[in-house]
Amino acid sequence: MPVGSRERADVTALLTVVALVTVVVAVSALARRFGVLAPILLLVAGIVLSLIPGVPHIDLDPEIVLTWILPPLLYVAAVNTSVQAFRVNLRPILLLAVGLVVFTALSVGYALHLVLPAVPLAAAVALGAVVAPPDAVSASAIARRVGLPRRQVAILEGESLINDATALVIFGVAVSAATGRAVSAGDIGLNAALATVGGVAVGAVGAVVFGALHRRITQPLLDNAVSLIVPFVVYAAGVSIHASGVVAVVITGLSLGHRYPILMSAASRLQMEAFWRMVSFLLEGVVFVLVGLQMRQTLDQLRTPVGTVALATVVVLVTLILARFVWMYPATYLTQLLPRVRARDAAPHPRVPTLLAWAGMRGVVTLATALALPATLAHGARYPRDLFVFLAFATIVVTLLMQGMTLPAVARWLRIEPDDPKDDLLAEAAVQQAASRAARERLEKEIVGQEDELPADVVERLRGKIDLRANIAWERLGGRRRETPTEAYSRLRAAMLEAERDVFRLARDEGRIPEEVLRDVQRDLDLEESLMRGRK
């Protein structure tokens, strides 16, 4: 390729990335401004852009999605997932992430084969595996913004962390059968067991290795760099031994996230949280826009008759939605027949499984897996691959727009009450009392024998800091009818900090201090202000 052509291609790629990020930022700002769920608006924006003449098409490479986009998003979701909540809700999570995915894949496969007998059953089940798992990005991005109770969010996020692994195993088995390779029930069980056990083992090793690295690293930038490579290394290690890379990333993320308070310094944690929030924001946004951008090409490549497309779309969507409802109620209430389950976990009100049944949004993994379908089946036989890709795309669009947009209304209709923030504040205040006592005891222990050496005002300031932190949590429990002392302090202190910044900026502009001095001082002032505003 001539140098000029290569340079033009590089510039085009760069402009494409810049354009995607710009769209994500602009649409997300509009969504926040008008109170619309950002993932839905981003998807709509992508669809609209795909239909505008002249907008270049961006191919969604399934390998890029599964290797470069899915691992970091799963890792961030796992790191931010409560291990305790995951453990407490493990039974419903596994019933959805494993049982429901298998049930949905088979239901969709048999229903599609019934209305389109020419489509081999194995290929239809492969499509069922493609559309079966709700998306991790969709669950996290929508469930939390809707304000669902914490336990329902934990179940949805836990389900979405694991269900991709189940779906990919079913997909691989179904594709193997469809392409003529003999697959027995024993092979299916063995492959599933190896993928799961291997993924858990790789994830555990990754947690130990990277946990040790984080414990020894003291520089925040190095800690951040290590955290960036964790999901890719763990995923690649799992795939390389034919284990589940998804399970490996989830196990490593859960373990490291649970131990971050003892593995890293405060500076590393603050920097890493900001870094991964930005990465998640951009990746999630780009994912939804990219899915929408596939509309035009998906329609252009569709060669199946319109009647067949309409019939298959209705059958797949109806089966997909009904299967989740059909599975949800028995999975919730039949397990209550077991005395051990009944004693540990009371049966929820029917509105709870109804809400979970409606929260089945699909995402980019569904489309990426559909694009990975082979062009032909056994002995070169052809099948409607273009229809399968369209069905995957339609599933994403309909579930996100229909279920994602109506989920807040469904939650209100079912009278699903969000968690009372006062419960969290009351628990925090009680624990803060114990933490303040521990801090005071440690302070008194540290200053023993140094009373004459330490400045009296230093000790008094530290004791005052203990009282301040103890009072803040109790202040939050009060009403919002007037400004609390802490809020007044934060407001006035912020004005003081801005005045200090102005003086230092003026001194820099007049040449009385170098740029480096301004940066150091401004960093300290910014940190103090961010600490004051962080809990608002």
> How confident is the model over 108-163, as pLDDT tens digits?
999 999 999 989 899 999 999 999 999 866 666 666 666 678 888 889 889 989 99
Q: Is the pLDDT of residue 248 over 70?
A: yes
- Does residue 223 share a domain with residue 103? yes
- What dihedral do alpha carbons 336, 339, 341, 343 form, nearest 10°? 110
Q: Is the pLDDT of residue 378 over 90?
A: no
- Does residue 482 share a domain with residue 334? no
Please check whether residue 210 is in contact with residue 35, taking contact to mean a CB–CB distance below 8 angstroms. Answer: no
CA distance 116 to 221: 56
- Does residue 365 share a domain with residue 217? yes
Question: What confidence category does residue 1 fall into, taking pLDDT thresholds of 50, 70 and 90?
Answer: very low
Nearest residue to 345 via CA among 336, 357, 355 = 336
The verdict on residue 9 lying in a domain is no
pTM for this prediction: 0.87
- Does residue 435 share a domain with residue 306? no
Please check whether residue 369 is in contact with residue 62, taking contact to mean a CB–CB distance below 8 angstroms. Answer: yes
Question: What confidence category does residue 58 fall into, taking pLDDT thresholds of 50, 70 and 90?
Answer: confident
- Does residue 81 share a domain with residue 123? yes
Q: Is the pLDDT of residue 473 over 80?
A: no
CA distance 180 to 49: 40
The verdict on residue 216 lying in a domain is yes
Say what the pLDDT of residue 206 is: 97
Nearest residue to 349 via CA among 337, 364, 336 = 336
Q: Is the pLDDT of residue 295 over 80?
A: yes
- Does residue 223 share a domain with residue 98? yes
Q: How many Cβ atoms from other residues are within 10 Å of residue 293's Cβ?
A: 26
- Can you tell me the mean pLDDT for 335-341? 83
CA distance 365 to 70: 8
Chain mean pLDDT for the chain? 87
- Look up residue 353 and give its two tokens: 């499984």
CATH of the domain at 149: 1.20.1530.20
Work out the burial of residue 254: count CB atoms within 10 Å of its CB; fewer than 13 is exposed, 13-18 middle, 19 or more buried: buried
Number of separate domains in the chain: 2
- Does residue 403 share a domain with residue 480? no
DSSP 480: S
Please check whether residue 358 is in contact with residue 410, taking contact to mean a CB–CB distance below 8 angstroms. Answer: yes
- Does residue 81 share a domain with residue 28? yes
- Does residue 434 share a domain with residue 409? no
Say what the pLDDT of residue 137 is: 67
Structural domain including 161 reads: 20-413
- Does residue 149 share a domain with residue 252? yes
Please check whether residue 235 is in contact with residue 71, taking contact to mean a CB–CB distance below 8 angstroms. Answer: yes
- Does residue 216 share a domain with residue 172? yes
Q: How many Cβ atoms from other residues are within 10 Å of residue 194's Cβ?
A: 15
The verdict on residue 57 lying in a domain is yes
Question: What confidence category does residue 380 fall into, taking pLDDT thresholds of 50, 70 and 90?
Answer: low
The verdict on residue 5 lying in a domain is no
CA distance 59 to 294: 7
Q: Is the pLDDT of residue 173 over 50?
A: yes
- At which of 413, 442, 477 does a domain end? 413
Find the DSSP H helices in 57-135: 62-64, 70-79, 83-88, 90-94, 101-115, 121-131
Which conformational region is residue 348 in: left (phi greater than 0), alpha (psi within -120 to 50 degrees), or beta?
beta
Please check whether residue 470 is in contact with residue 428, taking contact to mean a CB–CB distance below 8 angstroms. Answer: no
